[in-house]
C-alpha cells in the first residue's frame, strides 16, 4: 500500500488540533499508510485508523474535564460555591494523593474505540508508553498488543504524569511522552518514505528533522492551543479549525504567515503593485515617515527602515519577495486591529475588513478622546520632550494605527510622530502606512 506515515505528538487537550489536521488530509485525499502516536496522539491515532472522523469530532467538541478525570463531585461543589476550593486546587490535591483518577477517560475509550476495526484496518498503528515497573520505554504496533488490551495500552500511552499510573498485567505504565513525545523513530521501523509529523508541543518549538532519503512534512500549531488539561468544547472547536487551516497551508492550498489567504490572482496584482512602485512612489513612502532617501548608514532614518524591513521579512515566511510585501502589510495590520485570523480570506476581503475597522475607530469616542492629547503632543518643542511624554502616557494601538492615515500628509510634526512610532512600534507604523495606501488606492479607484 502506497501512502504517508503520520506521526502524532502528545499534548493533552491540545490534541484537538490533530483532528483538524486529519480533516484536511481527508479533504486533500492524502492516503495514510501508518500512524504512530504518543499520549493524546495515540488516542487520536486510534480513531484515525478506525476511520470515523465524525465520531472523533463529536468526542472532542463535547469533551470536558469531567470526561477525563474523576473529580465530578469536587468540581460541581466548587462551581456551586459549596466548598472554598477551586477546581485547580482540587486537581492539585488529587495529584498529591497519588494521582488523578482517569476512570471517565477509560470508560469513554471503551465506548468509542473499536478494536476489531483497528486491527483489521490496512493502516498500521503504533504507540509509545513507558513502563515504571521495568523503567524502560515500550513501543508497540497493533499486532504486538495482546487481543482485548488495545484500550489498556492506549491508556498507558496517554497516562500523563499527573494521572495514576495505568496497570497492565501487574506492571505500571505512564505517558510515553517521557520517552518520545513525537514518535518519528517508531514509524521508521515501517517501510515509509513520506512522513507527516504533527507537533503540538508549543509555539516556536519546531524540531528540525533531517533524515536522509525521507520526505518529512512538519505541521506545527500556529497559535497557542491552551493548557494540557484545558478540556473545553469551544477551545477544541477552534483548535480543530486551526489544525485544519495550518495543514492546508503546509500543503500549499492556502497562503499567509499568521492569516490564511486563497492563493488567487490578487497575489499577482499585489506583485504588480510593488513592481510598479517607481522612484516617485517610493519617495512618497519615505516622505510619509519623513525619511531621507540619501541618509547615511547608521542614521535614525536607516535604523527605522531596517526595523520596518525586518518586520515585513518576518511576516513573509522569511522570504521578502515583491509579491509578499502587500500580504505581509495586510497581515500585520489585521493582527494589530484584532481581526479574526481563523478564517480564509482573499487579500481584497481582508483589506476591506481593515478599512471597515479603521472607519469604526476614527468615529469612536475613544479616538475622539485621544485626539486632543495627540495634537497637543505634536506641539512639544523638542524630540526629547515628545519621546518622554508619549512613553509616559501610552496609547491604544488602534488609535495610533488610525491617526492621520494620509499618504499626502506634509506636516513635519506628524512625520516626527510617525518616526517615533516606527522606531518604537514598527508594526503600528506599517499598519498606519498600509491604511494610508488603501485609502489612496480607494480614492484613485473612485476618480
pLDDT of residue 19: 98
The 10s digit of each residue's pLDDT in 12-28 is 999 999 999 999 999 99
CATH 3.40.1390.10 fits 4-251, yes or no: no
pLDDT of residue 83: 46
C-beta neighbour count of 346 within 10 angstroms: 15
Residues 401/309/256/184 CA torsion (nearest 10 deg):
-130
Q: Is the pLDDT of residue 375 over 80?
A: no
Q: Is the pLDDT of residue 94 over 50?
A: no
pLDDT, averaged across the chain? 84
Determine contact, residues 331/351, Cβ cutoff 8 Å.
no
The 10s digit of each residue's pLDDT in 197-244 is 999 987 755 566 767 788 999 999 999 999 988 899 999 999 999 999
Q: At residue 342, what are phi and psi to the nearest 5 degrees?
A: -80, 50
The 10s digit of each residue's pLDDT in 297-318 is 557 777 888 888 889 888 987 6
**Which residues sit opposite 305 in a β-bridge?**
none
Specify the higher pLDDT residue, 410 or 86: 410
Active-site annotation, residues? 39, 175
* Range in 18-32, 100-114, 163-177, 432-446 with the lowest mean pLDDT: 432-446
Q: What average pLDDT does range 140-157 have in this prediction?
A: 96
Q: Is the pLDDT of residue 258 over 60?
A: yes
The 10s digit of each residue's pLDDT in 277-297 is 444 455 667 777 777 655 555
Determine contact, residues 61/32, Cβ cutoff 8 Å.
no
Q: How far apart are CA 369 and CA 371, in angstroms?
A: 6
Q: What average pLDDT does range 148-162 have in this prediction?
A: 91
Q: What average pLDDT does range 158-177 have in this prediction?
A: 88
* Range in 23-27, 394-398, 422-426, 443-447 with the lowest mean pLDDT: 394-398
Q: How far apart are CA 303 and CA 311, in angstroms?
A: 12
Domain coordinates in residue numbering, the chain: 4-251, 260-446
Determine contact, residues 87/78, Cβ cutoff 8 Å.
yes
* Range in 43-47, 73-77, 412-416, 422-426 with the lowest mean pLDDT: 73-77
Grid coordinates in use for 255? 497562503
Q: What percent of the chain has pLDDT over 90?
A: 51
Q: What average pLDDT does range 375-391 have in this prediction?
A: 61
Q: Is the pLDDT of residue 62 over 60?
A: yes
Amino acid at each position: 500500500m502506497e501512502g504517508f506515515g503520520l506521526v502524532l505528538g502528545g499534548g493533552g487537550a491540545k490534541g484537538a488540533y490533530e483532528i483538524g489536521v486529519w480533516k484536511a488530509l481527508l479533504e486533500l485525499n492524502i492516503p495514510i499508510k501508518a500512524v504512530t502516536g504518543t499520549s493524546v496522539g495515540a488516542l487520536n491515532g486510534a480513531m484515525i485508523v478506525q476511520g470515523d472522523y465524525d465520531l472523533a469530532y463529536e468526542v472532542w467538541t463535547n469533551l470536558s474535564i469531567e470526561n477525563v478525570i474523576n473529580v465530578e463531585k469536587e468540581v460541581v461543589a466548587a462551581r456551586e460555591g459549596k466548598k472554598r476550593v477551586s477546581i485547580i486546587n482540587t486537581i492539585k490535591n488529587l495529584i498529591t494523593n497519588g494521582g488523578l483518577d482517569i476512570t471517565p477517560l477509560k470508560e469513554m475509550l471503551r465506548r468509542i474505540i473499536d478494536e476489531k476495526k483497528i486491527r483489521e484496518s490496512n493502516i498500521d498503528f503504533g504507540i509509545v508508553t513507558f513502563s515504571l515497573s521495568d523503567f524502560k520505554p515500550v513501543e508497540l504496533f497493533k499486532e504486538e498488543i495482546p487481543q482485548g488490551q488495545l484500550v489498556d495500552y492506549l491508556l498507558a500511552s496517554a497516562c500523563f504524569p499527573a494521572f495514576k499510573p495505568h496497570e497492565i498485567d501487574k506492571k505500571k505504565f505512564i505517558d510515553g511522552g517521557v520517552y518520545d513525545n513525537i514518535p518519528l523513530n517508531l514509524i521508521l521501523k515501517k517501510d515509509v518514505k513520506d512522513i507527516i509529523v504533527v507537533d503540538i508541543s508549543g509555539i516556536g518549538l519546531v524540531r528540525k528533522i533531517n533524515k536522509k532519503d525521507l520526505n518529512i512534512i512538519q505541521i506545527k500549531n500556529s497559535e497557542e492551543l491552551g493548557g494540557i488539561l484545558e478540556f473545553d468544547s469551544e477551545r477544541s472547536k477552534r483548535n480543530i479549525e486551526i489544525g485544519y487551516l495550518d495543514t492546508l497551508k503546509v500543503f500549499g492550498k492556502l497562503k499567509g504567515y499568521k492569516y490564511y489567504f486563497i492563493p488567487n490572482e490578487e497575489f499577482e496584482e499585489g506583485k504588480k503593485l510593488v513592481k510598479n512602485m517607481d522612484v516617485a512612489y517610493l519617495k512618497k513612502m519615505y516622505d510619509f515617515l519623513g525619511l531621507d532617501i540619501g541618509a547615511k548608514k547608521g542614521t535614525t532614518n536607516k535604523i527605522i527602515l531596517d526595523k520596518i524591513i525586518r518586520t515585513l521579512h518576518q511576516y513573509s515566511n522569511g522570504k521578502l519577495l515583491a509579491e509578499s510585501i502587500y500580504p505581509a502589510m495586510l497581515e500585520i495590520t489585521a493582527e494589530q486591529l484584532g481581526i479574526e485570523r481563523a478564517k480564509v480570506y482573499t487579500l481584497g476581503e481582508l483589506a476591506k475588513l481593515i478599512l471597515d475597522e479603521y472607519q469604526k475607530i476614527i468615529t469612536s469616542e475613544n479616538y475622539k478622546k485621544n485626539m486632543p492629547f495627540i495634537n497637543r503632543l505634536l506641539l512639544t518643542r523638542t524630540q526629547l520632550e515628545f519621546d518622554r511624554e508619549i512613553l509616559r502616557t501610552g496609547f491604544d494601538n488602534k488609535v495610533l494605527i488610525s491617526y492621520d492615515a494620509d499618504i499626502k500628509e506634509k506636516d513635519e510634526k506628524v512625520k516626527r510622530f510617525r518616526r517615533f512610532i516606527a522606531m518604537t512600534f514598527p508594526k503600528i507604523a506599517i499598519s498606519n502606512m498600509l491604511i494610508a495606501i488603501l485609502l489612496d488606492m480607494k480614492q484613485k479607484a473612485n476618480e
